[in-house]
């Protein structure tokens, strides 16, 4: 059965102006997200991974129109959100919720848990007033808290519990899509596992769709159906979880995966060392943005922008944006200086 397309992002660009000079004119742009397209189906979990500053959060925020996208379409349930007037957009907010990394920062410290949830339902008018208290208790139980905790303040909870409050708040308006931006990153492993399992169960129960943003590739492997790899504002590879983790094709994806330390002392450890730092999105490299650090880079890479393409030996839906996927695979294009470290 064809799954329903819930979210279609098409040619999305998010440029932030940099002001400068005497007159405070726009002198340049941070090209935080630069022409990306992808689709999320109902009930699935799609993750965005990539290094700091590659545009993961910006993508999430642009989908919600927390910042107005510079260009491109965000089609949710058949409707282009970028075309909606502000007021209309507010009505759609209930369908698209976001959970942040630091739940404390996004919760008003002077409100009790019950206030927080009540307010969310009030704004979205999803539950009649007199049924709200019951709904609040139900929500708290759903996320593994109890009724007695409804009238407590955020500072009385641990990090993991606060994250549960964040999840309860997102759930309170019956959303279809939840964007989790580093939602479990600040949690300790034992608590993180509790929250990941909870997200899993809620997805099954309410047929939720997740856009999961994280730099932790262990978490991403665990939670995702499909994975998007970003590098300096662009998608370099996209595919189902197994294609990305077991059959990565883009040299950046390979380097990123090989850099992860694996919790197994007997595994062979060969980490590809990338030269230098991630380039700035203000002046991204020409051609393939990875060419300044890619061990396989050729002249063409400096000039032409590679498109996302499915090559031989790649599963349906698995695409990489590299000019030389096949040549690298066949060993015809060799790494110039492939530095490997065991640490």
Partner 1 sequence: MVETILDVRDLRTSFYTDEGEVKAVDGVSFSVPKGKTIGIVGESGSGKSITSLSILRLLASNGKVVGGEVRFKGDNLLAYSEKKMRSLRGNKISMIFQEPMTSLNPVFTVGQQISETLIEHQGMSKKAAMAKSVDLLKLVGIPSPDKRVKQYPYELSGGMRQRVMIAIALACNPEILIADEPTTALDVTIQAQILGLIRDLQQRMGMSVVLITHDLGVVAETCDYVAVMYAGQVVEYSDVRTLFRKPKHPYTVGLLKSLPRPDEDQEKLIPIHGTVPSPLHMPVGCRFNPRCPAATDLCREKLPDLFDDGEGNQVRCWIYNEQWPGEKEVDVFGEERTARC
Ligand X SMILES: Nc1ncnc2c1ncn2[C@@H]1O[C@H](COP(=O)(O)OP(=O)(O)OP(=O)(O)O)[C@@H](O)[C@H]1O
Work out whether 269 is an interface residue with partner 1 (CB under 8 A): yes
Q: DSSP H helical segments within the chain, as ranges? A: 56-63, 86-92, 113-124, 132-142, 159-171, 189-206, 217-223, 241-246, 251-259, 299-303, 325-329
Q: What is the dihedral of CA 175, 221, 274, 318, to 10 degrees?
A: -80
- Residue 144's SS3 state is coil
- The string of DSSP letters for 254-303 reads HHHHHHSPPS-TTS---EEEPPS-PPPSSSPPSSSTTTTT-TT--HHHHH
Q: Which stretch binds ligand X (CB under 6 A): 47-55, 126-134, 291-299, 312-320?
A: 47-55
Q: What is the C-alpha separation between 265 and 148, in angstroms, rounded?
A: 45
Do 15 and 70 touch, CB atoms closer than 8 A?
yes
Q: Is 89 a residue that touches partner 1 (CB under 8 A)?
A: no
Interface with ligand X (CB under 6 A), residue from 7, 49, 56, 224:
56
Instruction: Say whether residue 57 binds ligand X (CB under 6 A).
Output: yes
> What's the alpha-carbon Rg for the chain, to the nearest Å?
22
- Applying CB under 8 A, among 260, 282, 303, 338 the residue interacting with partner 1 is 260
Q: Which residues inside 284-323 make contact with ligand X, applying CB under 6 A?
A: none
**Which option in ligand X, Mg ion, partner 1, none does residue 161 bind, with CB closer than 5 to 8 A by kind?**
partner 1
Beta carbon nearer to ligand X, 56 or 94: 56
Around Cβ 95, how many Cβ atoms within 10 Å?
18
Helix (H, G, I), strand (E, B) or coil at 220: helix
CB-count exposure of residue 57 (10 Å: 0-12, 13-18, 19+): buried
User: What, of partner 1, Mg ion, ligand X, none, does residue 261 touch, CB below 5 to 8 Å by kind?
Assistant: partner 1
Q: Which of 45, 58, 224, 253 binds ligand X (CB under 6 A)?
A: 58
Residue 305 binding: pick among Mg ion, partner 1, ligand X, none (C-beta 5-8 Å cut-off by kind):
none
55 binds ligand X (CB under 6 A): yes
User: Is residue 57 within the footprint of Mg ion (CB under 5 A)?
Assistant: yes
Per CB under 8 A, 8 contacts partner 1: no
The yes or no reply on residue 274 touching partner 1 (CB under 8 A) is yes
Residue 298 within binding range of partner 1, rule CB under 8 A: no
For residue 50, give the nearest of 233, 225, 285 by alpha carbon.
233
Does the footprint of partner 1 cover residue 205 (CB under 8 A)? no
Nearer to ligand X, 58 or 209 (CB): 58
- 51-59, 86-94, 252-260, 286-294 -> range binding ligand X (CB under 6 A): 51-59
Applying CB under 8 A, which residues contact partner 1? Answer: 51-52, 158-161, 188-194, 196-197, 215-219, 221-223, 245, 255-267, 269, 271-274, 276-278, 341-343
Applying CB under 6 A, which residues contact ligand X? Answer: 16, 30, 32, 50, 52-58, 215, 281
Applying CB under 5 A, which residues contact Mg ion? Answer: 57
């Amino acid at each position: 059965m064809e799954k329903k397309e819930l979210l279609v992002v098409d040619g999305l660009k998010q440029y932030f102006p940099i002001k400068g000079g005497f007159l405070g004119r726009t002198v340049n742009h941070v090209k935080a997200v630069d022409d990306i397209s992808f689709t999320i189906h109902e009930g699935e979990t799609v993750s965005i991974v990539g290094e700091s500053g590659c545009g993961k959060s910006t993508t999430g925020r642009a989908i919600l129109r927390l910042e107005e996208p510079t260009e491109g379409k965000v089609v949710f349930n058949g409707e282009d959100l970028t075309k909606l007037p502000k007021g209309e957009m507010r009505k759609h907010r209930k369908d698209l919720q976001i959970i942040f990394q630091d739940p404390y920062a996004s919760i008003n410290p002077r409100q009790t848990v019950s206030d927080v949830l009540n307010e969310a339902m009030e704004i979205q008018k999803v539950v009649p007033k007199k049924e709200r208290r019951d709904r609040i208790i139900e929500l708290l139980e759903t996320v593994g808290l109890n009724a007695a905790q409804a009238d407590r303040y955020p500072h009385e909870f641990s990090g993991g519990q606060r994250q549960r409050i964040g999840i309860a708040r997102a759930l309170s308006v019956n959303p279809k899509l939840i964007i989790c931006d580093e939602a479990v990153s600040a949690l300790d492993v034992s608590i993180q596992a509790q929250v990941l399992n909870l997200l899993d169960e809620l997805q099954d129960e309410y047929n939720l769709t997740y856009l999961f943003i994280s730099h932790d590739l262990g978490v991403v492997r665990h939670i995702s159906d499909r994975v998007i790899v970003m590098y300096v504002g662009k998608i370099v590879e996209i595919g189902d979880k197994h294609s990305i983790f077991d059959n990565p094709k883009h040299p950046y994806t390979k380097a990123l995966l090989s850099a992860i330390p694996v919790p197994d002392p007997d595994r062979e450890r060969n980490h590809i060392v990338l030269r230098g730092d991630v380039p700035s999105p203000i002046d991204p490299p020409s051609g393939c943005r990875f060419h300044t650090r890619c061990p396989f880079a050729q002249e063409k890479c400096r000039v032409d922008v590679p498109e996302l393409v499915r090559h031989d030996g790649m599963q349906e839906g698995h695409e990489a944006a590299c000019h030389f996927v096949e040549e690298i695979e066949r060993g015809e294009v060799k790494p110039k200086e492939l530095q490997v470290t065991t640490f």
